[in-house]
Structures are given as structure tokens and as C-alpha cells.
Structure 1
Amino acid sequence: MNYELLLLGGGSGVGKSTVGFEVSVALRARDTAHCLIEGDFMDQIHPAPDGDPHRTAITERNIAAVWSNYAALGQRRLVYTNTVSILEAPMISRAMGGGAVRATCVLLTAEEETVRRRLAQRETGSQLAAHIERSLFMARHLDERAPAGAVRVPTDDRSVEDLAQDVLRAAAW
């Protein structure tokens, strides 16, 4: 079976989860079958498993387990959100069973001021400065290493509905 994978990546505070949920809303409104996985929950284990310090293997196993349930129900489209998802298309495609998986990589971006503002609203604990620093580092890292063909979508001062439509156009869904 042919599967379609839409990867939403970007640093913290660019709107990955929010846009992913809105993409799902738009697809439901069109009665387009799909499923959504919030990747942040696929590797929440401490300590990291032996031999898997970056938690990549456990992430792949968890995606494979969840996807197998979706696929058994006839699903063929997956929206997956995670900071580095655009760099992990091969791993996520393997977790979907390999074979014919058409992946679209969308890198969501935002200016530093926007990221700082959004994270200040979200992070209420002691980790705000660390989240901002990590987000800005990841934004540069992802911009430098984005795969060829990755679509960059700036999220500053835009409605989530417009962003979702841009993402859906990128995926040709």
C-alpha cells in the first residue's frame, strides 16, 4: 500500500503542534482520512534505553506500534510533528513499514522575537531560558540540515488556519 507522510518540524515555539492540530481539523472538514502523531510523546523515557542514548530506536518502535494500529484500520496518511522530524523521514518511513512512503517535509520557522514571546507564554517553570536557547540552536541546525525539497513556512504574525492551508498545499493533500 502507498502511504503519505507529512512531517512538521522546527524549533520550539514555531507552532508545530498547533499547526498539526489545525491541519487535522482542515482534513476532517474535507472528510480526508488521516491520523496525527505528536512526536514529543514517542521518546519520553528516562533513563534512555541501553544502547539508545538519543532514544531513536525507542521512537521508531513506538511510531511503528501506533502506526500499525492506524494502518490496520485502513489509514494511509500520517501527520507527524516533532522538532527534528524533517531529519528523520527515513526512520519514520521505516516505522510505517518502509516501501512506498511519500514524505513531505515542512520546516516551520519564526523570528527570534516571536519564539521568545511564544515560549514565555508557554513555559512557566524554571526552564524558559534553556528552552529559548535550545529552540534558537535547533532553528539554525534544522535550517542548515533540512533535506532538499523541504518547504519552509514562516509562522510569524499569521493565523493558524492560513498556516495549515500552506502546509496542506505543500503536501498536495
Structure 2
Amino acid sequence: MTGRSEVLLIGGRAGVGKTTVANEIHAQLSGLRVRHCVIEGDNLDLAYPAPWEHQLAERNLAAMWHNYRALGYRRLVYTNTVSVQYIAELTAAMGDDPKVIAVLLTAGDSAARERLARREIGSGLAYHVERSDLMARRLDETVPATVVRMSTDGRTVAEIATEVLGLTGWTAAPRRD
């Protein structure tokens, strides 16, 4: 498959629903038979000690995207808390000058904490709540105005995913590549 690739970057604080929305986007696109892949960026450099200074996430993204492209994929849904802050680095790692759609999902403190409490059943809840609050402030202050901000408070996952997909144009008929 040829053609310019496209990447949907989904960022936001912990507990905002990035992974859940990406999974719903995957379900909707799959139902429409739209060729795509999903990469959860948090898993690309999940190690101790943290290997961030080695750009491991970008290196792993480059390797994975190369493999997807070799199989004909050109649409990527990528989630990571700070993905919308590192657009240039992530697209450089992809290596094929993708068209970028960047979305910052937002949620109020109480909604994010409630979601985290359901998800973090081990010893990490306090850490994740603290990091979530910090990242919400940082993202709000530093993410460029060109990134679409979308609240998840009081909305269903399907509604959010449908709105995000509307930004991509990937569901417009009759394209199924």
C-alpha cells in the first residue's frame, strides 16, 4: 500500500480514558473494515530504571511502525499521556511524514480520580493520582493550541470515540484501505 500515513495522537492525564477511547476507536474502525493499528505508547518504554534518555519509546515506535507499514497499514492510533507534546519526535520516529491529528482528552480531578481508583487496584493508586493531577496542569499549560481539546466528563466512550474519529475522516465511505 502506498500513500501518506496518518497518525491520531491521543494524549491526556492518567484516568482520562485514552486507552478506553482508543479501544473503542479500534472497535468502530474494525466494524467499518477500516484498516488501522493501535499502539499504546506507555508500553514502549515501560521499564525500571526509566530509559527515557535513550529515546526507547521512539525507537520502539519506529520498529513497530516499520513492520506495520511493510504489511500495508497507513493509519495509526497512538496513545500516551504526553504524545501531544512530542508530535515532532513521534512523527520523526515514524519516518514517513504522516498527517497528524492530535487530541488532548481532558477530565476533571474527581472524574480522573474515580477512574483511577477503579483501575489501580494495587499499590500504585496514590502515585497515579498525584501524577495525573500534575500532568493535567502541565498539559493544559504546554500543549499547543493546534491540538484539539476534548472533555470526557459526563460522556460515553462511544460518543468520545465517534467525535475523535470525526476529526480524522477515516470513516468516510467508500475508503477501506
Give the TM-score normalised by structure 1: 0.92
CA-to-aligned-CA distance 1:137-164 (integer Å, 9 cap, x gap):
1011111111232111111121111010
Match for residue 68 of structure 1?
66
CA contact under 8 A between 2:5 and 2:96: conserved in structure 1? no
One of 4, 7, 11 as aligned partner of 1:5:
7
Match for residue 152 of structure 2?
155
Task: Please give the alpha-carbon distance, in whole angstroms, between the structure 2 residues aligned to 1:47 and 1:88.
Answer: 21
Match for residue 112 of structure 1?
109
Task: Please give the alpha-carbon distance, in whole angstroms, between the structure 2 residues aligned to 1:12 and 1:117.
Answer: 11
Please state whether the residue corresponding to 1:17 is helix, strand or coil. helix
Matched, 1:92 2:94: no
Aligned residues: 168
What is the aligned-residue RMSD (CA, Å)?
1.3
Task: Please give the alpha-carbon distance, in whole angstroms, between the structure 1 residues aligned to 2:54 and 2:133.
Answer: 22
Greater alpha carbon shift after TM alignment, 73-82 vs 38-47: 38-47
Please state whether the residue corresponding to 2:67 is helix, strand or coil. helix
Deviation of 1:113 (Å)? 0.7
CA contact under 8 A between 1:106 and 1:170: conserved in structure 2? no
Task: Please give the alpha-carbon distance, in whole angstroms, between the structure 2 residues aligned to 1:151 and 1:56.
Answer: 29
Percent of aligned pairs with the same residue?
50
Deviation of 1:45 (Å)? 2.2
Deviation of 1:89 (Å)? 1.3
Alignment map for 1:25-104 (pairs within 5 Å): 25-49=27-51, 54-55=52-53, 57-99=55-97, 101-104=98-101
Give the TM-score normalised by structure 2: 0.90
Unaligned runs of 5+ in 1: none
Amino acid at match of 1:15: G
CA-to-aligned-CA distance 1:35-94 (integer Å, 9 cap, x gap):
000111000122244xxxx35611111001111110001111000001001111111111
Runs of 4+ in 1 over 3 A off after TM superposition: none
Task: Please give the alpha-carbon distance, in whole angstroms, between the structure 2 residues aligned to 1:150 and 1:123.
Answer: 28
CA contact under 8 A between 2:14 and 2:112: conserved in structure 1? yes
CA contact under 8 A between 2:4 and 2:96: conserved in structure 1? no
Deviation of 1:171 (Å)? 2.2
